[in-house]
Amino acid sequence: MSDAVAPLRVGIAVADPLADKYAADLLRYCLARPGELAPVLIVCARPAAARGGRLRRWLWRAILWEERKYLRHHALHRDHEALTDLAALAPRTVALALQWGPQGPALRAADLAALQAAQLDLIVQLEGADLGAALQPCARLGALDFGTAGTGGAPLGFWETYRRQAKTGFALRQAGAPGQDGAVLLCGYYATRARYLLNQADLRYKAQFHLKHFLTQTARLGHLPAAAGAAAPRASRQPLSAARLALYLGKLLLRKLHDKCYKEYLQRTEVWGVSFLAGSWRALPGAQRITPPVPSGHFWADPFLWQQDGRTFCFLEDYAYERALGHIAVLEWREQQWQELGPCLIEPFHLSFPFLFSYQGQLYMCPETSQSGQIRVYRCSEFPLRWELAHVLMEGVSAADTMLFERDGRWWMLTNIDLAQGGDHCSELQLFSAPSPLSPVWEPHPHNPIAIDSEGGRNGGLIIDNGKIFRVGQRQGYCNYGEGAIVYEVQRLSASDYAEVEVQRLDPGFAAGISGTHHINSSGGWTVFDHKSWRKP
C-alpha cells in the first residue's frame, strides 16, 4: 500500500470493553498494521438481559460445567472464554450513551458527534453489539454486522449442536433495520461440533481469520468488496427454555455413554473400503458393484483409476493401523477381479488422495501430504510401483486433496488449505493457476477461498467427461466425516471467475451398514468410490 494512502479507520463495536479473546485479537491485528488499518473502539452498552428462572439457571450451570471440562482438552480453544480489557489496548475509545426503546437503540446527539469526530471509514459490530442500522450513517462505508442473526436468547452455536445440524455458519453483512437483514458480503459454514461451546469456539476462530482478510482487502481497495450473493445462515427464534436445556444435557450424557460403549467396550471404529462398477459415474448409486476385500489391519480410501497399455489400475490410500499412517497402494483388474499389486509410495508421514495426471508424456502423482507442510508432486519412474519426488509446488502450507488439471492452455489447482491453522481441511476450497503443473509459483484466484462450506467444500475427486469438468466435493455430516459426496459441474473457470453447479449426490443409503462415502473417480469403462462402516479394525 502506498504511503500516500491513509489507513482505513475501522470502528470495532462491542457491548462491553471487557471483551472476549476474539475482539482483542481483532484489535491487535489492526494495531499491527498501522499503514493499512487504524482501529477505534466503540462501546455500545446494552441493557442487562433477564436471568430466567432458577431451574433454567441451574441447568445452564450444569451444561457449562460439562462443556468447559471438555474444552480444557483442546489446546487451540481452552482460552475461548478469556476476557481482555480492550480499552487498555485501543488508542481511542468512543463510549456511546444510547437510548434503548421498543424499537431498539437510538443515537443521542452526543453519540453522533463523537462518532463523526472519529471520521470512521467503516464500523464492524461484533457479537453482542447488535445495534443494527443505527450506526450505518456514522462511517463512510457504513456499518457491518459480524456473526449471526438473533438467536432467540441462545448463545452462538447452541441450536446447531442441539438439533444435530450438519453445519454452523457465520456471516458478515451490511447492518439492516430491525427485522431486516442487509446484503451479505461474506459467509461460510463449518461442520458442527458435538458440544456447543466447542462448536462456538471453532466457528469464531475460523470466521475471525476471514474477517481480518476482509478488512485488509477493503483497506487496499478503498471500498467494500462485492457482495457474496450467497445464502447466509438463518437464526432460530425459539426461546431457550428449561425443558430444552434439560434435553440438551441429556444428549450430552448419552453421547458420552455411546462413545465409551461403542469405541472402548465394543472396540468399533469406522473402516473405509472401495467399490467398483463397470460403467459411468452417472449410474451411481444403483448399479451392481464389486467390493474387493481389504487386508486385515488396513483400510482403503481415496481411489483413483488409471488406464495404461490396455490395462486398468487403481491407486488408493492404504492406511495401516500398525503404523497409524497411510501410504499409496495399487490394484489392477486381472482375471475378472481386482488384485492388489502392493505399495507404490511410502513416506515417513501420512499419504492419501493419490491424484494422477499426465504432462509432457510422463505420469505424475500429487498425493495429500499435509503432514509434510508441502504440496508435492511425484514422477513415475517405473510404472506402476516406483515413484520419485519431482517437485514441491508449495512450501509451508497445510493442504489436503489437491487436484491439478489443464484448461484453455493454463493449469489449475483446486486444493483445501487450512490457512487459519485450525486443523480443518473440510470447508475451504482454494483455486490457483500457473502455466505448468510443475511451476513453483501459483497465482491465487482473486475470489479465494472460492467456497467456505463443509457441505461440498473439500475435494473428493475429479472427473473429465466429454470435455466437461466435474469436481467431487465431500459432504460432512453431524459428527460424521465424509457422510456423502456431491458432484459439481464446473461451468465457469477463468482468472477472474469460478462457478459450479451440483448435478448429482451419492449418500450412504445404497447398502446396509454403510455410514459414509466421500470420493468418486471415473475413467474409461470403470467408476470407483469409497465408503465406510463401523467394525473392528
Q: Which domains does the chain have, with CATH numbers?
A: 8-262 (3.40.50.170), 268-535 (2.115.10.20)
Residue 149's pLDDT is: 41
Bridge partners of residue 394, in order along the sequence? 375
Least confident of 16-20, 154-158, 234-238: 234-238
154 SS3 class: coil
Amino acid (1-letter code) at residue 282: R
Long-range contacts of 283-288 (CB under 8 A, 24+ apart): 283/527, 284/504, 284/506, 284/510, 284/520, 284/527, 284/529, 285/506, 285/507, 285/509, 285/510, 286/510
Cα separation, 401 vs 353, in Å, equals: 6
Give me the percent of the chain exceeding a pLDDT of 70.
93
Confidence at residue 240, expressed as pLDDT on a 0 to 100 scale: 84
Q: How far is CA 360 from CA 56, 61, 364, in A?
A: 68, 64, 10
Nearest in space to 77 (alpha carbons), one of 117, 25, 10: 25
Across 98-109, b (16+ Cβ under 10 Å) vs e yields beeeeebbebee
Sheet holding 526-535, edge to edge: 269-278, 526-535, 520-523
Residue with cell 519426488: 389
Confidence category of residue 537, pLDDT binned at 50, 70, 90: low
* pLDDT greater at residue 229 or residue 511: 511
Of the candidates 237, 199, 226, 183, the residue with the CA atom closest to the CA atom of residue 67: 199
In tens, the pLDDT along 253-291 reads 888 887 777 666 656 788 999 999 999 999 988 778 999
Write out pLDDT tens, residues 178-231: 556 788 999 999 999 999 999 999 999 999 999 999 999 999 999 999 877 677
Average pLDDT over residues 484-511: 95
Is the per-residue pLDDT at 305 higher than 90?
yes
Looking up cell 448419552 gives 254
- CA distance readout (Å), 123 to 216, 346, 514: 14, 52, 49
- Alpha helices of 222-276 — where are they, by DSSP H? 242-259
Which pLDDT belongs to residue 133? 81
CB burial of 307-346 (b: ≥16 within 10 Å; e: otherwise) equals: eeeeebbbbbbbbbeeeebbbbbbbebeeeebebeeebbe
- Do residues 309 and 283 touch, judged by C-beta distance below 8 A? no
Per-residue confidence band for 525, with pLDDT thresholds at 50, 70 and 90: confident
CA distances from 530 to 324, 337, 475, 518 (A): 20, 17, 13, 7
pLDDT at 2: 44
Which three three-digit cell numbers place residue 531?
Answer: 465408503
pTM score of the predicted model: 0.94
Could you give the CA distance from residue 107 to residue 507 in angstroms, rounded to a whole number? 52
Residue 153 banded pLDDT, cuts 50, 70, 90: low
The pLDDT, as a whole number, for residue 1 is: 42
Distance CA 103, CA 116 (A): 23
**Beta-strand pair 122-125/143-147:** parallel
| Contact between residue 330 and residue 338 where contact means Cβ atoms under 8 Å apart | no
Contact indicator for 143, 123 with CB cutoff of 8 Å: yes
pLDDT at 50: 61
pLDDT of residue 255: 82
Which of 28-42, 124-138, 163-177, 511-525 is predicted most confidently?
28-42
Residue 1 vs residue 143, higher pLDDT: 143
CA distance 456 to 475: 5
CB count in 10 Å sphere of residue 397? 18
Neighbour tally for 297: CB within 10 Å: 11
Mean pLDDT, the chain, rounded, equals 91
Residue 535: strand pairing partners: 269
Under DSSP, is residue 379 helix (H, G, I), strand (E, B) or coil? strand
Side chain identity, residue 133:
A
Q: Select from 313, 288, 312, 383 the least CA-distant residue to 345.
A: 383
Contact 454, 187 (CB under 8 A): no
Joined together, the cell numbers standing for residue 481 give 466425516
Q: Measure Cα distances from 203 to 48, 156, 164, 191, 430 in Å.
A: 25, 9, 15, 9, 19
Cα 472-473-479 angle, rounded to 5 deg: 145
List the grid coordinates of 273.
Answer: 473400503
Nearest Cα residue to 367 out of 401, 329, 406, 318: 401
